[in-house]
Amino acid sequence: MYFRKDLNNRPVPKISVPHKNTMMCLNESFLDPFDVIKETFLDEMKDVHVNRYFSNITHKLNIELENYLGIPQSGFLFGNGADEMLYNLFISVRENNDSFATTLSPSYFDYSTYCKAVGLGIKFIDLDFNFDFSVDDFIQQANDDNCKLAILCTPNNPTSNFLSDEKIFRILSELDKPVLIDETYFEFSGKTFIDFIDQYPNLIIIRTFSKAFSAAGLRFGVIISNEDNILQIKKTMTFFHSGLLTQTFAYSILKNKKIFLDHNKNIILMRDQMYNEMKKISKIKVYKSATNFLLFTAGEDSLSLFEYLMEKEIAIRNVSSGKILKNHLRVTISSHEDNKLFLDTLTQFFNKQKEKR
Ligand SMILES: Cc1ncc(COP(=O)(O)O)c(C=O)c1O
């Protein structure tokens, strides 16, 4: 065999996502950003020459990011999505075959995918039925010498709740190793740990343009920390990993950021409306959310509901796993029309179930 031994028995990672007319499964935005940023983008592109490696757009983008994040350039690095920044971070912390990361379960599925990709182990501390966890257990496991990184996602995907601030601060204070806080859903939750970067030398944050900035297909994410940590991570990265077209697009989004941030306010309103509507359906248990999606369950009917929605060309995510998320589904907040279609289809499903019984 030509490659790393641990790859032999690993399946090729696959994203099993249904493609339906109404996509409410990947926590994407329904707003296509091109119309919003077109003028800025085309104008900027006049000065961006892709026959060259370097362009002034990189500098302009860094300035816009400094303004948006409120921290100096020395405190962040951008790349192709939060995923790529996770990948780079995992490479930079992995020491040897015994190295592992500690995270919570259930949480973002691909922490595990990318840990395995770079040969970093991953160990989990389970969330309980309140989507809370034992901070003592977490710290104990993460204190193992072979644990090289702690990962916390808040608000957490797929449970949609905040982790406790108190527990996060305890983890940051008590662990003498990097603690990654994944703030992918920050623009919907409004809560960030960015202000604590100077206070905690081990704090690392990840953000993305895939959700609140309507640009999942752009592939743009940012890793944030103090200058020393950022320089270490940079040592593991290739020079020109971020294309100039992507940078120009990301810059144009930030130049028009108010439109996106206002749009998010609507998403939050629609999320809370949808939550209230779903709460009225007695067969459903829906959870309060600090993100752009809702976690819910229809108990034993969840799988047939999922399939019924698929038949009706509506794709949501089946996040059923383990004890606490058995029969749980996740739906992304979309346009008024999509949300209404989803709710109407839920009602239809339960009416049909009633007829059957
Ligand atoms: C918690 C979390 N982290 C990271 C990502 C990856 O984001 P990106 O599209 O920027 O790679 C996602 C995507 O759904 C996510 O939910």
pLDDT tens, 158-214? Answer: 999 999 999 999 999 999 999 999 999 999 999 999 999 999 999 999 999 999 999
Q: How much is the pLDDT for 15?
A: 84
Q: How much is the pLDDT for 282?
A: 94
Across residues 37-46, what is the average pLDDT? 98
| Every domain of the chain and the residues it spans | 5-30+258-356, 37-255
208 CA: nearest ligand 1 atom = 10
**Does ligand 1 come within 6 angstroms of the Cβ of 106?**
no
pLDDT reading at 357 higher than 80: no
* Residue pointed to by tokens 């030509």: 2
Q: How far is the CA of 181 from the centre of ligand 1 (A)?
A: 12
Structure tokens at 10: 């690993």
Across residues 271-277, what is the average pLDDT? 98
**What CA–CA distance (Å, rounded) separates 157 from 272?**
17
* Residue pointed to by tokens 């259930």: 106
Across residues 75-88, what is the average pLDDT? 98
**Contact yes or no for 106/128 (Cβ under 8 A):** no
Q: How much is the pLDDT for 29?
A: 97
**What CA–CA distance (Å, rounded) separates 64 from 42?**
18
pLDDT digit string, tens, across residues 90-135: 999 999 999 999 999 999 999 999 999 999 999 999 999 999 999 9
Q: How far is the CA of 83 from the centre of ligand 1 (A)?
A: 6
Structure tokens at 100: 């592992």
107 CA: nearest ligand 1 atom = 1
pTM of the model: 0.97
Angle at 186 between CA 180 and CA 191, to 5 degrees: 85
pLDDT reading at 228 higher than 80: yes
Q: Which residues contact 169 (CB under 8 A, 6 or more apart)?
A: none
User: What is the domain class of 5-30+258-356 according to CATH?
Assistant: alpha beta
Q: How far is the CA of 221 from the centre of ligand 1 (A)?
A: 9
Q: How much is the pLDDT for 355?
A: 87
Instruction: Give domain 37-255's CATH number out of 3.30.420.10, 1.10.10.10, 3.40.640.10, 3.40.50.410.
Output: 3.40.640.10
